[in-house]
Amino acid sequence: MKLRSLLLMVLMSLLAVHSASAQWDRMTNLPTIYIDTYNGQPITSKTVYVYATLRYIDEQDQMTVYDSLEIRGRGNSTWNMRKKPYKLKFNQKVRFLGPERANAKKWTLLANAGDKSLIRNAVTSAMGEFTSLKFNPGYKFVDLVLNGQYLGNYQISDQIDVRKRRVNVVEQDLPLTDDSDITGGYLLEVDGFQDGNCFTTSNYSVPIRIHYPDEDEIVTSQSRYVRSYMAAFENALRLRAFDDMKTGYRSYVDAPSLIDWFLCTEISANIDGYYSTYFYKDQGDSLLYWGPLWDYDIAYNNDQRITGTVEKLMTDYGYGQTKLWINRMWQDPWFTRTVNERYNELIDNGLVAYLHEKIDSLSDLLQESQSLNYERWGISTKMYHEIVLYSSYDQYVTDLKAFISAHCAWLKGAFEKRQPKNPTPEFETSNYFYRVLNAKSSKAAGVSDTCITQQTNTEENTKEDWWIKKMGDHFIFINRANMLALSDPTEGDVGPTVNIGTRLTTAPEDSLDERQLWDILPQGSSGYYIIRNVYTQHIMNVSNGNTSDGAYIISFTNDSRNTSSTNRLWYFVATREEISEEITGIRDVEPEDYALAYNPTTQELHFGSEQPELLQRFVARVFTADGRAVGSFRADEHFSLQTMPAGIYIVTWQCGGQKRSVKLKR
């Protein structure tokens, strides 16, 4: 009798253990999260947290318990849906999405209630990863059970805040000191809801929310700095010369992130992309960086308030005040050109196929979970502003992929139509250094050892600066760093398609050498030019269309592809740094007749002219800065300063009844 009782007790104990473990089983192939609030308290507020315990059952059925967790509601319109999103706050930092993601207390549980595919936010984050955007919110799908009630498929995602592996800008001193640098970092949002710490800009009436520093930590000096900075940005955007690289709006924006954020917003056709726009500014950095991408569940033609977005630009039809900035930028030929180039680059690199593969992968992963989710919520039940309702999950996935294909095809033509329509003007040089930028890569032609290569356009790099001088009907390019002339050294037979592929180089300036003379020829209405060598008739071209730094600039085929091959198309940006009256290399005197040059390599002075007989008519004299004569030479001869001490010299001469003088430094 005692043995029987003992066996019964053991059996009951085993059943109790099995029952307890079954209570926390995974529901599908995805992890399952069980959240139990203190005393089963309901979550009814977006501001008031409720204490809870969270049990996370991973793919290997291992359970991790997080105690003293806090949970509340989140979102704006999404909080009013039947399937609600939540915000979690742990009592200590956790890597809730694994070792590669942020270590943080705050995380989000997105319901994706208005998105029947459940994956639009995740797909958009993946698109951001395909581009140059630095921070893209993480995503992991789970099944959620709250207080014993199954709520469906949810997405764990980062909270948009400042920290490593999120928006990784410098965190400001708390509290501030007299030596604190308040130039950054800041996390900002154009926020149509105008929640939290918001102000409205004076020029465009754009509502700006300061997310970081936090509302309860930010001080007056920081708020004043942000307001002043945004006012300066908008002032630059309103200037008549707003498109000037140095003084216009571009001096305030990080171009790669601006263009890629804009393209992700338009590719996804997010009607609220300009209603809620995140951007940030780092400490000691004068630029605004755009992103992260956030809140895309109603994108990709998934909101009945604006239908037919397959053939619409959100800058024309979407909501939000950011459009005011972007539509001003559309008036800048640089912006339209760069948008078109970058879009074509992304498409050529396989963006559409990448998004389709991501959609297929995620939808396969979610098959079990989505089935349970729609048993709870209904696959064909309207939750928000869905345009179409289908009877199966796979139909929603197919619809999403079809939209991406059709919209991306349409965008190609839409961006091309935005290109400048006026004919590209004849190139006119001025007394400034220029950057010579490639149409495909937007990188600069610069001196590298003895060759010319493609280089990232860097303001401080004088090897990318060119003094472009008019020489009769042609131009000569003088590099600022070595004061030598751009030259095509092709040997042997020459002609538009003969002996191509020679690497361009620089050589001591000689205006009579046709290898150093170039024609700058406008191409259609693109704003681009080809640069053709007078001697070889070849076109300046990036080798193999390479977009990487260090690619050689070569002498290449001159044919019917000149107007379409971006490898050989160029545009010019003046540095706005005027060339000094003092010459350290070459300096025009009378470009229509003759020019005086100083070659720092040979340390010789000489004149050049297309009329050699003119140079036989006058003599130049050389003086030290204090007026002592050191020599003279006829204009068709060379004069060496090799034996002269370093210093300032004055060269004087008289020609055509006019006395001239030039100062130079040896």
Q: What is the mean pLDDT of the chain?
A: 89
Determine the residue type at 245: M
Average pLDDT of the segment spanning 469-495? 92
pLDDT, residue 269, reads 98
Reported as a single tens digit per residue, the pLDDT across 157-170 is 999 999 999 999 99
Q: How many CB atoms lie within 10 A of CB 628?
A: 8
In DSSP notation, 536-600 reads T--EEEEGGG--STTPBEEEE--SGGGGT-GGG-EEEEEEEEEPPSSBSSEEEEETTTEEEEEET
Predicted pLDDT of residue 593: 67
C-alpha 136/C-alpha 149 separation (Å) is: 31
Distant-in-sequence, close-in-space partners of 23: CB < 8 Å, separation ≥ 6:
none
Positive or negative torsion for Cα 411, 415, 418, 424 = negative
How distant is the alpha carbon of residue 163 from its chain centre?
A: 21
CA-based end-to-end distance of the chain: 115
Taking the C-alpha atoms of residue 4 and residue 249, their distance in angstroms, rounded to an integer, is 87
Per-residue model confidence as pLDDT tens digits over 370-398 = 999 999 999 999 999 999 999 999 999 99
Place of tokens 């995974």: 26
pLDDT band, very low/low/confident/very high, at 625 (cuts 50, 70, 90): low
Global pTM exceeds 0.85: no
Rg, Å, the chain Cα set: 33
Report yes or no: 95 and 103 within 8 Å, Cβ to Cβ. yes
Do the Cβ atoms of 253 and 322 come closer than 8 Å?
A: no
- Assess contact for 441 and 337: CB atoms under 8 A: no
Q: Give the strand pairing for 32-37 and 139-146.
A: parallel
**Upper half-sphere CA count for residue 327 (Cβ side, 13 Å):** 14
Q: Which long-range contacts (CB under 8 A, 24 or more apart) does 642-645 make?
A: 642/602, 642/603, 642/604
| Range name among 224-238, 341-355, 374-388, 457-471 with the lowest pLDDT average | 457-471
Q: What is the largest CA-CA distance in the chain?
A: 136
Sheet with 594-599, edge to edge strand ranges: 586-590, 594-599, 604-609, 638-640
- Per-residue b or e along 557-572, where b marks 16 or more CB atoms closer than 10 Å to that residue's CB: bbeeebeebbbbbbbb
pLDDT, position 313: 97
Q: How far apart are CA 322 and CA 189, in angstroms?
A: 10
b/e sequence 401-411, b meaning 16+ C-beta within 10 Å: bebbeebbeeb
Determine the Cα–Cα distance for residues 71 and 53; give it in Å rounded to an integer.
Answer: 10
Statement: residue 463 has pLDDT above 60: yes
**267-317 per-position pLDDT tens digit:** 999 999 999 999 999 999 999 999 999 999 999 999 999 999 999 999 999
CB 138 within 8 A of CB 97: yes
Q: Give the contacts of 114 (CB within 8 A, at least 6 positions apart).
A: 78, 81, 297, 298, 302, 303, 383, 384, 385, 386
The confidence score (pLDDT) of residue 292 equals: 97
3-state helix, strand, coil in the chain (%, to 5): 25, 30, 45
Q: Is 418 exposed, middle or buried (0-12, 13-18, 19+ CB in 10 A)?
A: middle
* Edge-to-edge strand list for the sheet holding 629-634: 629-634, 619-624, 648-655, 658-665
Q: Are 198 and 207 in contact (CB under 8 A)?
A: yes
Distances (CA, A) of 421 to 327, 333, 380, 518, 567: 17, 10, 47, 26, 21
pLDDT tens figures, 551-586: 999 999 998 888 888 899 999 988 766 665 444 433
- Conformational region of residue 140, where left means phi above 0, alpha means psi within -120 to 50, and beta covers everything else: beta
